[in-house]
Structure 1
Amino acid sequence: MSSEDGCCRISVIKAILYAYQFVFLLTGIGIIGVGVWKYLESYHYFTVVDLDMYSSVLYMFIITGSLVICAFIFGFCAIPKNRTKLIFVFILVLVLVFLLESLVAILAYVYQHSVIEDVNSRLNSSFLENYEQNAKTQSINYIQENLKCCGAQSYTDWKYSKWLYGHPEILNKVPDSCCKTVSPRCGYRNHPSNIYYAGCDERVSEPLKFNLLLICAVSLGVSVLQVIGVVCSIKLFLKLEAEDRNYNPQVNGNETLIPP
């Protein structure tokens, strides 16, 4: 194999890596965008219910997107220089991102099986204990209005709430955010035909489960992309190593071996 063929092959590998880097950058931006979008979309949910694992998965997902962009910047600087040490560090960065993406995918997949149970066990107590007691009230109203539901499991949950105990004059009534058409004191009627009867637990947990599955799928897809980048980078590293050996004299002990 001639050195020209070797250079050509290195050029091809570098061209593939340049294309990969462009896709890699878009992927990092997309991950951050999806992560922030899902965080804002779910903000009211984990304001009302303490879902530490769910928020941790989202944070890790966003951090991974940031690392992808950092890896792109490093690779953009390392690949043109043809320095094996820089390429080696770039490979390590790609492997690190791959491991983090794989961890996010595993956590998201595992937790999506238990997020429904967590919501069901915590939403009711949060509704009953926190309505008009603290800042969670706004999020509870948001959930009931936008998800078209009332209470955790049913509208009848509200008769056990601290909020109702503080308003004996409106016994067996519900917050106005339970109303299909919201108006002042619309939930205080004796025969509330204008309220939602379904509870909010399933309507909260299902979007969260979908978000976790989406994060899992995106993370797995990016992990596959990482494998392609690692393989191409290792190939470039080995080619550059071989080229260095061909162009530099080989040293054996104290003697320099000069090719015949």
Structure 2
Amino acid sequence: MGSSLCPATMAHYKVDQDDWLTVYLKYLLAVFNFFFWMGGAAVMAVGVWTLVEKSGYLGVLASSTFAASAYILIFAGTLVMVTGFLGFGAVIREDRSCLSAYFCLLLAIFLVELVAGVLAHVYYQRLSEELRQHLTRTLAQNYRQPGAAEITASVDRLQQDFRCCGSNSSADWQHSTYILSPEAEGRRVPDSCCKTVVARCGRRAHPSNIYKVEGGCITKLEQFLADHLLLMGAVGIGVACLQICGMILTCCLHRRVQLHLY
């Protein structure tokens, strides 16, 4: 009799073990999904912060790669948060089609973030060259010119926020179309170079009156953008690592559900 009960007991134990593994995977995937959702919120927040708080500097950049990376992060973050809700539903229902859709969305988001990461890396490599070629030309040719209101505002904000004057130094403004024009009213630098901005304060280009920073605005802007791109990359990599774990857990749970059906 003992031998006849043994197979049944073992089968019952195996069923219990399978159920325990499924429940364990569900809890793991639910915990992952929570952190994944939070990561998506962080990715979206970084993208929004880049566009809202730092958009004033975009006018002095030659390409739109920096802004494009921010838009991709916002899109990816939004998609992550929506996918997170789907993930919770898939875990609760233990539905194979939902789990498959969840896995596909995780993979799609991973690819989107990979594109954003590549863009950020490429832009980081060409950042210094772009700034040095473009910023000096922008100050000389576009500042306070017709149709260049956005560039003018960007340059003014750049000089005030970073407390700098000129591309490499305040001497760069000597070749500016604006400074050489009657509109400058005798200014040697724009008023935004002044430590205390008042009307026509740019007439006096003394270190006590204007910012004279070694390396000019290029050095400070380059460092700022490099740090920001590294932050964007770090957040993206962190969420990508979470996604890899999530895809593995999703595959495991999908497999367990499939075995239960058969």
TM class, shorter-length? 0.7 to 0.9
Give the Cα separation in 2 of the matches to 1:169 and 1:8: 78
Structure 2 unaligned regions, length at least 5: 1-12
Residue 49 of structure 1 deviates from its aligned partner by 2.2
Q: 1:95 aligned to 107, 121, 133, which one?
A: 107
1:42–1:208 Cα contact (<8 Å) kept: no
Distance 1:45 1:60 in 2: 19
2:42 maps to a residue whose letter is G
154, 167, 182: which is aligned to 1:139? 154
Return the TM-score normalized by structure 1.
0.88
Matched, 1:232 2:244: no
Separation (CA, whole Å) in 2 of partners of 1:230 and 1:190: 60
- Among 241, 244, 256, the alignment partner of 2:261 is 244
Aligned position for 1:201: 218
Question: 3-state SS of the aligned residue for 2:179?
Answer: helix
User: Which residue type is aligned with residue 197 of structure 2?
Assistant: V
Which of 169, 172, 179 lines up with 1:164 in the alignment?
179
Question: Would the aligned equivalents of 1:84 and 1:237 in 2 still touch at CA under 8 Å?
Answer: yes
What is the Cα deviation at residue 55 of structure 1? Answer: 1.2
Find the residue that maps to 1:112 and give its secondary structure.
helix
How big is the shift at 1:41? Answer: 3.1
Task: Pick which of 16-25 and 127-136 moved more.
Answer: 127-136
How many residue pairs match? The answer is: 245
Q: What is the one-letter code of the residue matched to 2:112?
A: L
Report the AA paired with residue 124 of structure 2.
Q
Shift of 1:48: 2.4
76-85 vs 19-28, which moves further:
76-85
The alpha-carbon distance between structure 1 residues 17 and 95, as it changes in their structure 2 partners (threshold 3 A), is same
Q: Aligned residue for 2:142?
A: 130
Q: CA deviation at 1:13?
A: 0.5
Amino acid at match of 1:46: L
Matches within 5 A, 1:20-99: 20-99=32-111
**Please, which runs of 5 or more residues in structure 1 have no aligned partner?**
246-260
Q: 1:168 to 1:184 in 2, by over 3 A?
A: closer
CA distance in 2, matches of 1:157, 1:128: 8
Q: Residue by residue, what CA displacement relative to the aligned partner does 1:46-103 show, whole Å, maximum 9, x if unpaired?
A: 1222331111111111111111112112112222111212111111111111222222
Distance 1:191 1:226, change over 3 A: closer
Question: Which segment drifts farther, 166-175 or 139-148?
Answer: 166-175
Identity percentage of aligned residues: 31
* Structure 1 partner of 2:189: 174
Q: Which amino acid aligns with 1:96?
A: A
Q: 1:176, 1:182 within 8 Å by CA — same for their partners in 2?
A: yes
- Secondary structure in 1 matching 2:241: helix
Deviation at 1:224, TM superposition (A): 0.7
**Letter matched to residue 186 of structure 1:** C
Whole-Å separation in 2 of the counterparts to 1:7 and 1:216: 40
CA distance in 2, matches of 1:52, 1:169: 30
1:206-251 Cα shifts (integer Å, max 9, x gaps):
1111111111111111111001100110000000111111xxxxxx
* Backbone CA RMSD of aligned residues: 1.8
Q: Distance in 1 between matches of 2:27 and 2:244?
A: 17
TM-score w.r.t. length of structure 2: 0.87
